[in-house]
Amino acid sequence: MPPTLRELLADPVYKMYFTRRLTVPDSLAHGQPWQVWAVTYEGRWGSRLFEEYTDAWAKAVTLNKDSERFRDVAIVSRRVMFAPPPRLAWSGSKFAWCSRCRRPSEFRVRTPDHHALRSQPVLTDDAPRRCYYCGIRKAAMLAYTPTREGSWAIATHR
């Protein structure tokens, strides 16, 4: 299982990265470009869409603080992909960066009853590895590898 948001926020590099306010280009800001996913300790998932990042952020903060009820929370960008922050270390051998969720995630084969895929048909079964949180295919992600300087570079191969 990927690290929880609470675990990630304990890392000062990730906390500085994650807590900055995000914007999307005006041409992509239509509708509800932000989504918050939360999972309980019983494994039940819930989601809500937001027009503004500040509203999604406020909801995620509230859910994340409710550690008795929610095991984990994710804010998903439905329009823009985000690279990992420089100097962030995570178990690259076990987890890959999800550019929609802005966090390390587990990409593996998911069934159509995956919480993020239930309301939409799975249109293809090639390269079926998908994000634990948002359900995006691994094939849609850029692959990042750590550099000696402590930042991340786009890998030339997967």
pLDDT tens-place string over residues 83-123: 888 777 765 557 888 999 999 988 877 666 666 666 666 66
User: Does a structural domain hold residue 97?
Assistant: yes
pLDDT at site 148: 63
User: Does a structural domain hold residue 133?
Assistant: yes
pLDDT at site 72: 95
Does residue 21 carry a pLDDT above 80?
yes
User: Does a structural domain hold residue 135?
Assistant: yes
DSSP bridge pairs for 38: 46, 73
User: Does a structural domain hold residue 25?
Assistant: no
For the chain, the DSSP string reads -PPPHHHHHTSHHHHHHHTS-----GGG-SS--EEEEEEETTS-EEEEEESSHHHHHHHHHHHHH-TTTEEEEEEEESS---PPPTT----TTT-EEETTTTEEE-EEE--TTSTTTTTS-----SS-EEETTT--BGGGSPPEEE-TTSSEEE-S--
Q: What is d(CA 94, CA 156) in angstroms, rounded to the nearest whole number?
A: 19
User: Does a structural domain hold residue 27?
Assistant: no
Tokens of 66: 């409710």
User: Does a structural domain hold residue 138?
Assistant: yes
pLDDT at site 147: 65
97 lies in which domain range?
Answer: 5-19+32-154
Structurally, the chain folds into a number of domains equal to 1
pLDDT at site 25: 79
pLDDT tens digits for range 30-75: 889 999 999 999 989 999 999 999 999 999 999 999 999 999 999 9
User: Does a structural domain hold residue 104?
Assistant: yes
pLDDT at site 9: 93
pLDDT at site 157: 45
Evaluate whether 72 touches 87 at the Cβ level (below 8 Å). no
User: Does a structural domain hold residue 76?
Assistant: yes
Q: What is d(CA 132, CA 101) in angstroms, rounded to the nearest whole number?
A: 10
Q: What average pLDDT does this structure show over 15-41?
A: 88
Evaluate whether 102 touches 90 at the Cβ level (below 8 Å). no
